[in-house]
Structure formats: C-alpha cells, structure tokens
Amino acid sequence: MKKTIDEFKLLLDRSPAALAGFSESDSQKKTAPDKWSKREILGHLIDSAANNHQRFVRAQMNAELRIPGYEQQVWVATQRYQSESWADLIRLWKSYNAHLLHVICAIPENALGHSCIIGDNKPVTLEFVIQDYVRHLKHHLEQILE
C-alpha cells in the first residue's frame, strides 16, 4: 500500500497546477463528438472519487461489501460538467482526493483484505479497489494532460 499511497500523493501534488495550465475554452474541446472533453474527464474523476469514497468507507465496516457499480456516461451527462467552471472542477477534484488520501491512510491493515463485490464483478479486496482507483486516476489524468 505504501507504493500506492506515495503515487497518489504525487498525483495530488503535481496535477492541480498542470490542470490549471489549460484555459476554460481548452478544457471544453473534444477530440471527437463521441469523446469526453478534459472537463468531462475531470468530472468523471470526481464521480469516481464519490463512488470510491463509499467503497473505501463501507468496506471497512464489514468483511464483505456488495455495492452497485455506476453508469459513468449517465453520471457525466447528467451533471453537465461541460458547462461547469474549469477552476471549480479542479478545486473540487483536488479537495475530494485530498480527503480520500486521508481516508486511505487511516484504513486499518486488517480491513484491506475485506471483500468488495461491485456490480456484477467478481469479488476483490479493498486493497485492490484502492490500487485500482489510483491506477484509474493516473490513466485519466494522463489523458487530460497529453
């Protein structure tokens, strides 16, 4: 977990300034009509934070957690991230993830092996869910920053 936490910290330290380097109009541009803009990708990461927040907390309470997945396309479209301020999205993303880092650092080691069943997927450990969250975060940040 130390490697995952260190990577998460690094992403939180470096990404906000890099994200702020894009203008409001640049953050709205789409590479194709069926692709998300930088703004929508960051919105998706906020949604991912919200969904994983529930997983990180609830999985500590029981040895097995069953929780629904989420419909990412519907979430992004419904929340209209394309029309929200880029600066506000960056602040929300940064704050939410700073809190998630705090939550992750406080998880007792014995809870990391708790089983999580998300949607129709096979069971995974809470530790895997955390690691997967950071991988997912890194992947989408790279998409935005390319």
**Assigned domain for 27 exists:** no
Residue 66 φ then ψ, to 5°: -115, 125
Tell me the pLDDT tens digit for each residue of 21-58.
999 999 999 989 899 999 999 999 999 999 999 999 99
Total number of domains in the chain: 1
CATH code of residue 42: 1.20.120.450
Domain enclosing residue 78, as ranges: 2-21+35-145
Which residue, among 41, 17, 44, has the nearest Cα to 29 in the 3D structure? 41
Look at residue 130 and tell me whether its pLDDT is greater than 90.
yes
pTM of the model: 0.93
**Assigned domain for 98 exists:** yes
